[in-house]
Structure 1
Amino acid sequence: MTSALLAFAAGLLIATVTTPVGVSGAVFLLPVQLSVLHVPSPAVTPTNLLFNVVAGPGALLRYLSTGDLAGSLTRLLLIGTLPGVVLGAVIRVFAVPGPRVFRLIVAAVLLPLGVWLCVRAARPAAGSKPVKPLPDRLLVILGVGAGTIGGIYGIGGGSLLGPILAGRGLPIAQVAPAVLTSTFLTSIVGAAGYGVLALVTTGDIAPDWFLGLLCGAGGLVGGYLGAHLQPRLPERALRFLLGGLAAALAALYAVQATTG
């Protein structure tokens, strides 16, 4: 019962904080699953993807009335992230099975994410400076890279794409719906990929359905609340919060990987 309450509460709180900036929260939930809920590796990755699948509709339901969930940005990201997450799942199962290597990958993903968020938050607003759109091909390439890392890490890739796109000057109101839609659909494909791999390989590859669904249920509520709160929250403060948390988690996992 304690684990169930922790799983629900963690999903709820994390999603409420991260959804306003277009991040599902899975990037911060994974350490909770590893260290607190004791989900084994590599089963923690598909469990985290399961969280995205269950939690995603909460934010998307709210953003349906405020953002374009099927625009060109969303389509271009999906062209890259969907095949990328399948590749990431294969790499995670066959090439990165050890917890030490996995922690190093976690640190390598979180540290630049955290620094990027903090740097962008520290810079003054761009004002009326025009935003030069990224080429379609580059958006697809970014999608492939983020999807692959997301398949390894269990985040669906959205936690990487959001800061990159927002860093280019795109407004959060445009980035968040596209990235969260990409994260949701990519996580469905990624979770299904791990399910297939679980049938043909040995080890803890299948998701922990109980904890994944409970975390997702909390995230479903938290995602809706976070999307509802977005217009009322200071974006700069949220970016500093996410960046600081990401950097701190990166440092923790780097220490664990080198000393454990």
Structure 2
Amino acid sequence: MDFLRYVFPVSGVETWLWLPPLAAFAISFFTSMVGVSGAFLLLPFQMSVLHYTTPSVSATNLVFNLVAIPSGVYRYMSDGRMNWPLLWAITVGTLPGVVIGYYVRVWWLPDPAAFKIFAGCVLLYLAWRLLPGFLPGWRNLQTADASVPPRDAVVRTLSVTPARVTFRFGAETHAFNLPAMLVLAFLVGIVGGVYGIGGGAIIAPFCIAFFRLPVHAIAGATLAATFLTSIAGVAFYNFLPAPPGLATHPDWLLGVLFGVGGALGMYAGARLQRYVPHTALKALLGALVALLAVHYLLASVTSNG
């Protein structure tokens, strides 16, 4: 079995060839259900398990997004669950943030221990807002949130104005403030650019916790926005200047291996999402956010120790 063990020349990672796609499949299957790409948890996996810690790990994570996300997006589009106004709002807002995030990553935070403390605290707060046991008025909302939307429920845009976007999902009408969404997308784009998880990768928890949008109606849009901003992110890490001697180019082979497993996982997750109650999806996202927050906080303590 030694022939399945490989040293990736760009990153220097040595591992079994089956491990990256297997890990990506397992992670992406669950994260795609809540509109988050597998990169959300693959970055800690690469840094902690594969010991890939240079800034180019962020670029490799973005390559994973390019390969893995289209299958999940296709599934959401086929099911009529693509929220187009939300997709373009997130994309327009996050692209400038991703540019800033790149420069922050390679010039100021090549070893981002301090930033991990901040990110960990933000993510813990989001987890507190998302986990069902902590939601205000949870007992009153439990019955409604526990339902599964009709299997034929689709997203229909009702109106788009400079101030507000209104859409219908199933029998319910939802809306969000467009300027607020753009500002939020810009801020999370910076974070996504720093960590290589795509501009839209961490906006799903905010859409659910603060804008009160249903996860079934936003997951496709947040995944698609992550894909579009990841294209820009890979280009930035490939072509924009970096400090001398700092590796920023992605490991394409490793990223593609992750992406193959992620593509299968995302398609399966997007396909099965419609059968899972909103409450369960919200709890899953909260647990994933809490897990990542704890990882970042522990990593910052370890690196400072």
The verdict on a shared fold, with TM-score over 0.5 as the criterion, is yes
Provide the C-alpha distance between the structure 2 equivalents of 1:120 and 1:223, rounded to a whole number of angstroms: 27
TM-score (norm 1): 0.89
Instruction: Compare 212-221 and 190-199 and name the one that shifted more.
Output: 190-199
Matched, 1:160 2:202: yes
Show the 5 A alignment for 1:124-163.
124-125=141-142, 127=144, 133-163=175-205
Q: Confirm or deny: 8 A CA contact 2:132 2:282 kept in the other structure.
A: no
Larger % of strand: which?
2
Give a deviation string over 1:47-77, Cα, whole Å, max 9, x none. Answer: 1111111111110111111235472221111
Whole-Å separation in 1 of the counterparts to 2:219 and 2:111: 33
**Other structure's SS at 2:78 match:** coil
How many residue pairs were aligned? 260
CA contact (8 A) 1:21 1:235 kept: no
* Alignment gaps of 5+ in structure 1: none
Residue 117 of structure 1 deviates from its aligned partner by 2.3
Distance 1:72 1:246, change over 3 A: closer
Aligned in 2, Cα 1:196/1:182: closer, same or farther, shift over 3 Å?
A: same
Instruction: Quote the Cα distance in structure 2 between the aligned partners of 1:116 and 1:107.
Output: 14
Q: How does 1:1-260 map to 2 (within 5 A)?
A: 1=5, 2-67=15-80, 69=82, 71-101=84-114, 103-119=116-132, 122=135, 123=138, 124-125=141-142, 127=144, 133-167=175-209, 168-197=211-240, 201-260=244-303
Deviation per CA, 1:96-132, whole angstroms, max 9, x where unpaired? 111533543552453233333215885325959x866
Bigger Rg over Cα: 2
Q: Which runs of 5+ in 2 are unaligned?
A: 6-14, 146-171
Alpha-carbon distance in structure 2 between the residues aligned to 1:114 and 1:208: 32
Decide whether the 8 Å contact of 2:91 with 2:200 is kept in 1.
Answer: no
Q: TM-score by structure 2 length?
A: 0.77
- The alpha carbon displacement at 1:173 in A equals 2.5
CA distance in 2, matches of 1:201, 1:194: 14
Alpha-carbon distance in structure 2 between the residues aligned to 1:213 and 1:11:
11
Once the two structures are TM-superposed, the CA of residue 219 in structure 1 deviates from its matched residue by: 0.6
Match of 2:160 in 1: none
Higher helix share: 1
Aligned to 2:167: none
Give the RMSD, CA atoms, in angstroms.
2.5
